[in-house]
Amino acid sequence: MAQWTNSSGSYFRPYRSPWGAPQMRQFQESTGVAGRAVFPGDLVRSNTVITTGGFRVYRDPSTGGGGANLAHIGGAQLIGICVDASGLSADGSTNSAAGATGFVDDSSQTGGVPWQRTVNVAVADGITEFLGYFKSGGAGATPVAASSLIGLNRAVVYDSTLSRYFIDSTNSTVADAFVKIVDIPDYARGDSGGVPVVFKFLSSNIHVALSVGQVTV
């Protein structure tokens, strides 16, 4: 039995889709919240606070629910997982250092000109399954990868030290639920710590533009 330890490499990512590849879309990142710059592995949601320029996205605020660093619960604003940021700034982020550089407001957009400063997102379409990791230490101190976890709803927390999201293996509070565990990779079964698990996002958190009928959970 192996012991997994969380690291900066333990980031959320698309894992499996009946289409053979995850559905990808591009969205412009919001210029209004420098601390919410989007990096690969981040939860991406629509920015309903600052909507200047049209539909923009940013990193999940991670302050929802009843505790610190919980992923924002409800609101139906989740888009999916960032897989590639626009990388205009030196640190690989977008709005934190580059400001509004490269942005064109929707009202000023001309026909045939592609959006600038976009992030690529594997969308939470209710079909795609994602790979994530249990939080090892703190929330979910000694989780074990077991098939009994399949079908359970769990909360998602943000680790500000590693700048990564993790699944809280012990938080089964209904009001905090964010994902449903759907599988355990065979290479991790029986292991403990920050083990990988396969999950889907709960439909109550997904943006209405991504609704896919009865296949959501």
pLDDT of residue 108: 55
pLDDT of residue 35: 55
Per-domain residue ranges of the chain = 3-15+125-203
Q: Quick one: DSSP state of residue 198?
A: E
Mean pLDDT, residues 5-14:
92
- What is the DSSP pairing of strand 78-84 with strand 118-123? antiparallel
Residue 167 has pLDDT above 50, yes or no: yes
Phi, psi of 46 (to 5 degrees): -75, 145
pLDDT of residue 137: 63
Partnered with residue 44 across adjacent β-strands are 59, 80
Mean pLDDT, residues 2-24:
90
Give 114's contacts (C-beta < 8 A, 6+ positions apart).
Answer: none
Q: Quick one: DSSP state of residue 72?
A: P
> What is the side-by-side strand order in the sheet with 43-46?
24-28, 118-123, 78-84, 43-46, 57-59
Query: For 108-160, what is each residue's pLDDT tens digit?
Result: 555 655 556 678 899 998 889 999 999 876 544 566 788 888 999 999 998 88
pLDDT of residue 179: 94
Q: Give, in order, the Cα–Cα distances in Å from 188 to each of 3, 166, 217.
A: 10, 16, 24
CA dihedral angle for residue 141, residue 64, residue 40, residue 184, rounded to 10 degrees? 40
Angstrom distance (rounded) from CA 39 to CA 41: 6
